[in-house]
Structure 1
Amino acid sequence: MAHEPDPDRLRALEAKLEKVKDAKAKPAGTGKDFSQAEVAWRMVIELTSGIMIGGGIGYGLDYLFGTKPILLVIFILFGFAAGIRTVIGTARDMQERQLRAQSKTKADPPAGTEG
């Protein structure tokens, strides 16, 4: 003899599960939050692209002026500096977003505490 579940209890459980899922769901319009891996890859790409662009400019100027390694090295260093500056700007932007999100969650009262 098999025990069949009580349909009323199942409906009550489903309602509780939906309530928990809705409470955990993000509100609409908050924008996309990036994972740490996505931000890390963005920073790596910014740094390497700065170095490669600087190297390309340096190589092109060396080829044009016939001063083979000098301008290549100088512009690779410039590209590295530009990449570092861009990475720092990205990190600062991500920190500001995180601080804004934290201050927003602290400013919002918890559900059910309205008086």
Structure 2
Amino acid sequence: MAQSRNTKRPPSGERPGALTSDLAARIKRAQASEEAPGDAELSAANRNFSGWNRGMRLGTEFIAAILVGAGIGYLLDLGLKTGPWLMLVMLLVGFAAGVLNVVRSAAEMNRAAPPPTAAMRVPDDEEDE
């Protein structure tokens, strides 16, 4: 069978600590040159969003929060036999949570979006004069 990794011991002339220190130095160089992975992934994900994708994401977050709130209220109404009151209250709580999620997501998308260039700007009426 072929081995996929090199598991041989270093030659007797080299000491094992030299390989470890070399590996540690390479790891430090790689970590220093690497960006924060969360920021890179966030900006790459938001850069690929078209207007349609952004709208769908915000819409589904809003609807999901409302449905989760209404579902929890409905289950509480079934268990406590309080009629539609807890469902209505939790529906409003879900609505508030949905608005908060949409505002937070939109701010995150705007923060990750590249700043507008001169070519992207639309002239105002005052600039035409």
Compare the two structures and name the one with the higher helix fraction: 1
5+ unaligned residues in a row in structure 1: which ranges?
1-28, 107-115
How big is the alpha-carbon RMSD for the aligned residues of Structure 1 and Structure 2?
2.1
Residue equivalent to 2:115 = 102
Residue equivalent to 2:88 = 73
Instruction: Using structure 1 for the length normalisation, give the TM-score.
Output: 0.60
Instruction: Using structure 2 for the length normalisation, give the TM-score.
Output: 0.53
The CA distance in 1 between the partners of 2:104 and 2:51, in whole Å, is 16
AA matched with 1:85: L
What is the number of equivalent residue pairs in this alignment?
75
Instruction: Decide which of 24, 35, 42 is 2:50's aligned counterpart.
Output: 35
Q: Deviation of residue 102 (structure 1)? A: 1.6
The CA distance in 2 between the partners of 1:69 and 1:31, in whole Å, is 44
Residue equivalent to 1:45 = 60
Q: Deviation of residue 65 (structure 1)? A: 0.4
Q: Deviation of residue 47 (structure 1)? A: 0.6
Q: State the secondary structure of the residue aligned to 2:44.
A: coil
5+ unaligned residues in a row in structure 2: which ranges?
1-40, 119-129
The CA distance in 1 between the partners of 2:44 and 2:81, in whole Å, is 50
Q: State the secondary structure of the residue aligned to 1:68.
A: coil
The CA distance in 2 between the partners of 1:48 and 1:86, in whole Å, is 11
AA matched with 2:88: V
Q: Deviation of residue 97 (structure 1)? A: 1.3
Instruction: Decide which of 55, 67, 76 is 1:61's aligned counterpart.
Output: 76
Matched, 1:83 2:98: yes
The CA distance in 2 between the partners of 1:58 and 1:102, in whole Å, is 43
